[in-house]
Homo-oligomer: A and B are copies of this chain.
Amino acid sequence: MVSKSAPSTDDTRDVILDAANRLFARYGYRKTTVDDLAREAGIGKGSVYLHFPSKQEVALSLIDRVNVELQEQLRAILREGSSPELRLRKMLEARVLVRFDAVQHFTESLDDIFADLRPQIMERREGYHRVEAQLFATLLEEARANEQMQFDSAQNAAYSLLIATASLLPYSLSAQQLGDRDEIIRKVRRLAELMLRGLLSR
């Protein structure tokens, strides 16, 4: 937290989100107030409100940030030189693990966040999934053009992949499941295996 005196707008936003991340882990979402956020971020309460109208917005923006990070990782994998099969495996794992790693340190806050913001999170999810579907469809189309995979519609196949792995995302996991990263990895790998067998050309 260098140059607290005059950070740029984007920096302040991230400083607040980082503070929220720490406080949600330490005290939980419910107990954290905007005052706490300001103190932890080392800025005035007014500055927090300049960026976020409420604690709810802070939590939703944290979720947005994880999704932007995920999309960047998916694009990076998409550009790799490896086989479509390997890239698809990696993309499916990233889709699950980037989100898992982002929240697993504040398991208890998750229940509170979902209790408070379920409808808003559901709405945003559709936007996230649209972007991801586009990235998966790009890979699928490339693999089909090379006759490595076969399916009717790349868009539909991409959505099937997303639907199939969606229940491994934090929203659908219990605190106990969030405690066992290795088990989540095994599950996503088995799913990827099954669906790849379904997609690969015969």
Chain A residues in the interface with B (C-beta under 8 A) = 111, 114-116, 118-119, 122-123, 125-126, 151, 156-157, 159-160, 163-168, 171-172, 174-175, 187, 190-191, 193-199, 202
Contacts and interface: CB of A to CB of B under 8 A. Distances in A.
Interface of A is mostly: helix
Nearest to A110: B118
How many copies of the shown chain assemble into the complex? Answer: 2
Interface centre among A116, A123, A157, A167 (most CB of B within 10 A): A167
A122 B191 CA distance: 21
Contacts of A168: 163
A202 B167 CA distance: 29
A202 B202 contact: yes
Contacts of A114: 114-115, 118
Contacts of A125: 174
Given A159-B190, A163-B168, A164-B167, 12 more contacts: A111-B119, A119-B175, A123-B174, A163-B191, A164-B165, A164-B191, A166-B167, A166-B172, A167-B167, A167-B172, A172-B172, A197-B199
Contacts of A156: 190
5 contacts: A156-B190, A157-B190, A160-B194, A164-B195, A194-B199
A174 B115 contact: no
B122 A174 contact: yes
Contacts of A116: 115
Contacts of A194: 151, 157, 160, 164, 195, 198-199
B115 A190 contact: no
A118 B119 contact: no
Contacts of A197: 197-199
Nearest to A126: B174
A163 B175 contact: no
